[in-house]
Structure formats: C-alpha cells, structure tokens
Amino acid sequence: MLTFYKKVSALSLQKRQKKEQDLLNILFIGDIVGINGCEFLRKNLRGLKSFYGINTVIVNGENSAQGNGILPESAEYLLDSGVDVITGGNHSFKRKEIFEYYSPQKPVIRPANFPKDAPGEGMYILDFGSLRLAVINLIGQLYLEPADSPFKKADELIKMAETNLIFVDFHAEATGEKGALAHYLDGRVSAIVGTHTHVQTSDEQILPKGTGFITDAGMTGAVNSILGVNPEIIVKKFTLRVPVRFEEEEGPCKLEGIIFEICEKTGKTLNVTRIRSGQ
C-alpha cells in the first residue's frame, strides 16, 4: 500500500499513545463507493486503526452498494470490517431493501432532517461505559431534495444527546452551507464533517470555540474515476445529454478521511489530521 499521510517516529508515537489516554480518536472515512470501495476499506482499516490509535470509526456508506445506495449486505460488510457507525445522505433510501433494515438498535443512520416518519433514525449513541458519543447525520437544503432545516434539527438533537461528545456528518452540496452550519455549531459539537461531493478539501481546521471541521472528507473508491463512477459513462452523460446508469469504476483505489483527536472531558477537538491512502 502506498501511503500519502505523514508517518511518525516510534518516539513520537509513544508520546501520542500516552497523550491519547484522555482522548477519543475518531477516524471518519469519506463516501464509500461500491464493492471496490468496501473491499479497499476492509483491506486497510485495521492498519489505519493500529497506526493512529483509533478508538472509533465512522463512515458515510450511502453509496456502498453496487449500483448506488446502501443495502443491508453492504452495511453489514462495513460493520464486519471494523466500522462503528454508518451515516447516509441523499441516497439513503435509494434501495428499498434497506427500509426494514433501519432500526434504532443498528448503528446505521440517515439524515435526521428527513421527514420524521421516514425509515431510520438520524442519531446514534455509542456508549463506551465511561462516556457517550452521539453521531448525528444531517443533509443540506441547497441543490438537493427538500428537507427540514439542518440548523433547527441540530439544535434539537444536541439537547437530546445529553453528552458533550457529538460528531456530525453534514451531507451537503454547497460549501457555503457546510461552513455556515459548522460555525453555527462551533463550541456545541466536537466535530463536523462535510460529505457528498466526494472531493477531499484541504481546509481541515479547529474553529474558534473548539469544533473540528473539514468541508469534505473525500471518498473511498476507484482512483481513475469520476467520483467513483466509470468515466466513460459520465462523459457520455455530459456530451450526449442522454440518461445513463452509473457503474462503479474498477481498478486501483484510494481511501480518504480525517482524524479528530477529541478531549473526553471538554468535548473539544485538539488536533485534526487529514489522510489519504491508495494502492
């Protein structure tokens, strides 16, 4: 595996492990695309968790099924690979087979600001015994199907969470909307990650009141693709203006994501590390 993230010396790794006794190290992995992306995640996740001392893994899995969407089989594959919570987005209901799979007991969630009677939940609580981590999933309102306000829904769920350790996946198209929600929630959530565009941004940061943020975590899927899809199909769509059926590209893959080191006591982000690895 060819790695693009910075390696640390054995001495600095020992210092980090000592420091992490009071830290929750969360690895968020950007949108998983198809079987190719799922298999690449499984191949590399154990090594990443060991290398960075990861406590918790969250992934966006709304494109994890072959042919788009998420299926019970793709969700179970990701969970069996070492993922703790799976978030979704505008494709959360793409496949009808997933409807009955959603339940409060399963760590697979969809945007909370979808209609309340829709299948699934928008928040999942990971209980570690001595602490609780709330994972919230929201979707944007700009350039996507209509949804309730992510700002108001975030206010509601933060109160319900009853913990200062809160992680948000904001699945949105517009970078301005992602930034606006991040600043709106600064100091009230531990970290907020943008998803949906499949293009990793280089603006990882800690906001003034202690919330970690990146506009988009990127994707996990084929390198020589257009957002994980076969390039020929996308070119045909734009040049001929005819309907096409998306097919995941095969070949060498990449995994993109971001790590947040969060203080267990304060719920604030202390460090942010953007990662990318590939074959």
Cite the beta strand spans of 76-215 per DSSP E. 85-87, 123-127, 132-139, 166-171, 191-195, 205-206, 212-214
Q: Residue 20's pLDDT band (boundaries 50, 70, 90)?
A: low
Among 20-24, 37-41, 115-119, the minimum mean pLDDT is found in: 20-24
Decide if 171 is catalytic. Answer: no
The pLDDT-based confidence of 172 (bands split at 50, 70, 90) is very high
pLDDT digits (tens, 9 = 90+) for 203-228: 999 999 999 999 999 999 999 999 88
The CB density around residue 274, as the number of other CB atoms within 10 Å, is 18
127 CB-near residues (< 8 Å, 6+ apart): none
Per-residue model confidence (pLDDT) at position 64 = 97
**For residue range 244-262, what is the model confidence (pLDDT) as tens digits?**
888 888 999 999 999 999 9
CATH superfamily to which 24-278 belongs:
Metallo-dependent phosphatases (3.60.21.10)
Of 59, 88, 83, residue with least CA distance to 71: 88
The string over 191-230, giving b where at least 16 C-beta atoms fall within 10 Å of a residue's C-beta and e elsewhere, is: bbbbbbbbebbeebebbeebbbbbbbbbbbbbeebbbbbb
